[in-house]
Amino acid sequence: MKRIVTILFVMATMFGAMAQWSSNVDESLLIYSGETNVREIAMAPNGNTWVYLQAPANDGTGNLCVYLQLLDSAGNKVFGEEPLLVSNKPTRTWTTCNTYLYADRDGNAIVAVHDIRNAVKTQYLSYTLYKISQKGEFLWGEDGIGLEGTQAFPMNSHISMAQMDDNSYVCAWTSVKGESDIYEVKIQRISPDGEMLWDLEEVKLSDPENKSHYTWPTVIDAGMNQAIIVYFKGSNYDIYARKIDFDGTSAWSEDTRLYRSGWPYSIPAWSLVDVQPSGDGGVLVAWSDDRFMTGMATYMTYVQPNGEIGFAAGVDGQKLSYGDYQGMTVRCKYDPYTDTFLAIWRESYSAVMYRALVQRLSKDGELLWGEEGLEIQPFTSNQYGYFSIQTAPDNQAAFFYMHNQTQFSNTNACVTLVNTADTAVRKTTIFTDTLAVSEKSDLLSTSMHNNSYWTVLWQDDYVSTNSTIRMHRINADLTLGNPNSDDAVEAVRVDDTNFMAVSTIVDGVAMFATNVSSDTQATLAVYDINGALVATPFEGVLAAGKQYIEWNADVPAGIYLATLSTPYGTETVKLLVK
């Protein structure tokens, strides 16, 4: 039975004008006060922001509690001042190399919890997933679903997840192989209602000879109910990619090797790599390495949907800058507005001076901003870090980062807006509280909503007070707060599309009814029970008001899923074809 948390959702909608986001840089929104181990954010399709927090329990047990908060576009806390408790099960450890939070196309939060609830020994760990609606409903039950049933293993870590076209979810994580000391990557596909669809022993990345490790997977939605898994192989941490089909089998004849070792052993390899979708069903990977033992440099590679390397530089990546300095902490992003790739990283010399650089690449790997990239912050004696990239229309790219102002006693979070057409730096804004001299860290940013705003989160260690988690809303013009109350009220609407089958039992022709508030892009797709696409009855602009769509169900008898996708999210109905 699903758990439901009662919230004043209607009141949040009615009083959206009572905004919590502030236009004053010195009045950021306080999300949480106290120690936290992990923080993540994700933007839902309707503009609401999910916030995930891990925090020590206050009962002396040493356990970690997992909390969720939901903010509407006005900054109202949908679950109230106290965040929603997801889990307080016993834990043994925590890791930062995870994706604990994922916002699906319906705006639900998929939450991963790492604990020992299924362990026969206290040193064993496993993952449990929760699916939570924006109304606080626990859609997969109060205790979630165990990715490995009622089992736990000596080592489970680094989980990643993505949603497929049929609204199922693919998860991958590192696990110890049996009683050995060899790591493998397990992969599971989960239906929208929480059913495990794959056999973990059949769908995994593993060395049958028990000689090589498979670790640190990242899952990317490749479209057509397929996923790309980027992973590390062997003790030298070579990078590979595998594309898997809706049934878990490999879609390429062989895995694609992206890079063959060159890591400095003092730095964890996973901390040097960023993996992002390439916008066309492929994958984009950026990293730093010291392959020539002369200092760290930054690289990027692009894997096309067919598994081939897209850059002219070939295997081992395109170097992002040919300057004389060392590059680290690279992040990458696909820009849908220009159909190019973006990167940001930190360069240094003599480990005493640092600057922030950005680069734009074509799909064949050409460096569009010159061989040394574009400098957005000059050399200083204090470091830059916590980079992220968010795209925007009108030839703009937003680069988010933190800058230590006075050797760790004060840190500022910044965003620099760059014109991608002429490389002009349009504007740089500091958005952390300028009146509070404090250490700050872990800056996170969400994708832009409706071409109008981003949300950002950071940890702020105020002097003589508790550590805090704070947020701002940053608009496309780099102003802060809510431009108007109408925007706030509009953004908290959860259901903007009505979709139903006139009859769920089909004999010949199926009829679907839709009702949207305004003309909108929409796709109606039909899948079989295994997730394979069988028909696309409609794709285009769906007219406002009540409309009907027909589908000639000339398919074998059985159960099918019809999914209507719009910018507001997706809705699915189940059909029985006779």
Average pLDDT estimate for 10-33: 69
User: Is a pLDDT exceeding 60 seen at residue 7?
Assistant: no
Average pLDDT value for residue range 120-143: 89
Q: Which residue has the tokens 């922001």?
A: 49
How does pLDDT run across 188-232, given as a tens digit for each residue?
999 999 999 999 999 999 999 888 999 999 999 999 999 999 999
Mean pLDDT over residues 128-146, rounded?
95
pLDDT score of 249 more than 80: yes
Cα 34 to chain centroid distance, Å, stands at 25
Q: What is the DSSP string of 265-281?
A: TTS-GGGGEEEEE-SSS
pLDDT for residue 262 is more than 70? no
14 dihedral zone (left: phi>0; alpha: psi -120 to 50; beta): alpha
Residue 12 has pLDDT above 80, yes or no: no
Residue in the block written with tokens 């503009």 = 47
Beta-carbon contacts of 381 under 8 Å, excluding residues fewer than 6 positions away, are 352, 353, 354, 407
Q: What is the mean pLDDT of residues 166-187?
A: 90
Least confident of 57-61, 396-400, 451-455: 57-61
CB 418 within 8 A of CB 358: yes
**What is residue 465's predicted lDDT score, i.e. its pLDDT?**
62
User: What DSSP character marks residue 12?
Assistant: H
**What is the per-residue pLDDT for 454?**
96
Q: How far is CA 138 from CA 69, 193, 333, 443, in A?
A: 14, 11, 32, 29
Q: Which residue has the tokens 């909503």?
A: 449
Report which of residues 291 and 493 the model is more confident about: 291
Q: d(Cα 259, Cα 239) in Å, to the nearest integer? A: 5
Residue 247 in tokens: 């049934």
Which stretches does DSSP call E strand in 406-465? 411-419, 425-430, 439-445, 453-461
DSSP assignment letter at 212: S
pLDDT at site 416: 93
Query: What is the rounded distance in angstroms from the CA atom of residue 126 to the CA atom of residue 52?
Result: 19
Tell me the pLDDT tens digit for each residue of 314-350: 888 999 998 888 899 999 999 999 999 999 999 998 8
pLDDT of residue 514: 85
Residue 268 has pLDDT above 50, yes or no: yes
